[in-house]
Structure 1
């Protein structure tokens, strides 16, 4: 009993430490004077002026980040899911070399990928565009997605797919109708992380947005600090607004992340 209470107390302390930055952002965002030091544990005269300013100045940037992150999720899943299934179920001599190549791609520093993509995008006209940012973030998310989904799909019993093939389903039909529903948990996991990668991206946004025409919220906060250092309530309000989609997605998808890929598939 004593050990259980001690563990609970330690967990509460660790949770409080992890949530303290969120509390600090929320507290500062509600201050009327735009300072960086809260007057009390909770604002005595809270105001939403910071959020009004943040939505007015950064609303378009939030929409841009949402479009980029959503597009990254779609493209990542469309490419990574069949690739992961092929690497998990098919038996070819080059599979191990393919996995090694994916691991090497995962280890390449982001700045190297950004510089290479900048040269390519400049020549094909994808700089300062939402499709360009989607492709850049997808290049970073696909290797991760393949490795995660492959580990899930390796546990899918081949008898399920073979039964569908016997019933007349083609390879693509079997993949879409059988493999994809069974792999729902892995798809949600990869989609969530792909969204978070793109939503929190700063490096690609800074490299690919040279004219300020397309500005994700991370880059918007960075440039926002230069002109609003005296309005920290607006800066923190922007940070709070940028945190809301990630928090919502994590709360909704947390039960899928830890679940098994074939849970309930075979009775």
Structure 2
């Protein structure tokens, strides 16, 4: 008992120190974004006189890239869930041979290096005319989200009681109606979890954007920051302001969906 009491405050202190170390880069990013233009080493530890000029430059020069990332990420979520939800339902409910082999194959696709997929997609896109296009980026980014979504949704859908589905079938609902009106509403937590991670995969993509785009008209924010660094290394406040703006959608999405993600990630194991 005494050891447990002694470990409580010590564990709290250690946790606070580790959390502060992990969050310090985020704090410095925000702090540097509010400093005047110039080297971040000349900035203070606290923005006593915040300067929002960096945000004005970031919105003027990177606003289009932010919009591109948003459109591509939302498109990847729609496409990913549209493919993953029916596939997961079929693997969970229909008596198919080789279900485990299919799930293993889906899992293996997550282990393929992204550069291998990017090179293959470049050759295919060059022939199909999908280079430098929103559709091309959506299709490419979905390759990371669909396998993960299938695994998450399958783990949840297999726990849905068969009696509920059979009751809906007895009431005259077809397979499509059961899937749309029964399975999907019951799988809300898993759907939100899959959607969040698919969005994050697409929002943080750099490799596909670097390989499959070459024009400013279709350039996500990750590639915009990369090229922005090479062109404006003296305007670190604008660089950091762009990083803050690029982090806000992902952070806001995680905060709003935290309850659903926690339930969706653990429901398959608990039921």
Per-residue deviation, 1:5: 2.0
CA distance in 2, matches of 1:241, 1:260: 28
CA distance in 2, matches of 1:42, 1:96: 55
Q: What TM-score do you get using the length of structure 1 for normalisation? A: 0.94
CA distance in 1, matches of 2:94, 2:149: 18
Deviations 1:38-93 (A, max 9, x none): 53320232100000000000000000000000000010001001111111122211
Q: 1:250 aligns with which of 245, 251, 254?
A: 254
Contact 2:225 2:243 survives alignment (8 Å): yes
CA distance in 2, matches of 1:13, 1:100: 40
Per-residue deviation, 1:152: 1.2
The match for 1:4 is: 8
CA distance in 1, matches of 2:12, 2:94: 46
Q: Is structure 2 residue 170 aligned with structure 1 residue 166?
A: yes
Can you give the 5+ residue segments of structure 2 that lack an aligned partner in the other structure?
A: none
Where do residues 83-102 of structure 1 align in structure 2 (5 Å cutoff)?
83-102=87-106
Aligned residue pairs: how many?
263
Task: Name the SS for the 1:107 alignment partner.
Answer: coil
Q: 1:121 aligns with which of 125, 137, 140?
A: 125
Q: Is structure 2 residue 187 aligned with structure 1 residue 187?
A: no
Per-residue deviation, 1:260: 5.1
Q: 1:56 aligns with which of 54, 57, 60?
A: 60
CA distance in 1, matches of 2:199, 2:97: 33
* CA spacing shift, 1:36–1:260, aligned 2, 3 Å: closer
Q: What TM-score do you get using the length of structure 2 for normalisation? A: 0.93
Task: Name the SS for the 2:40 alignment partner.
Answer: coil
Q: 2:71 aligns with which of 62, 67, 71?
A: 67
Which is further off, 185-194 or 150-159? 150-159
Can you give the 5+ residue segments of structure 1 that lack an aligned partner in the other structure?
A: none
CA distance in 2, matches of 1:261, 1:50: 38
Q: 2:36 aligns with which of 17, 32, 35?
A: 32
Task: Name the SS for the 1:249 alignment partner.
Answer: helix
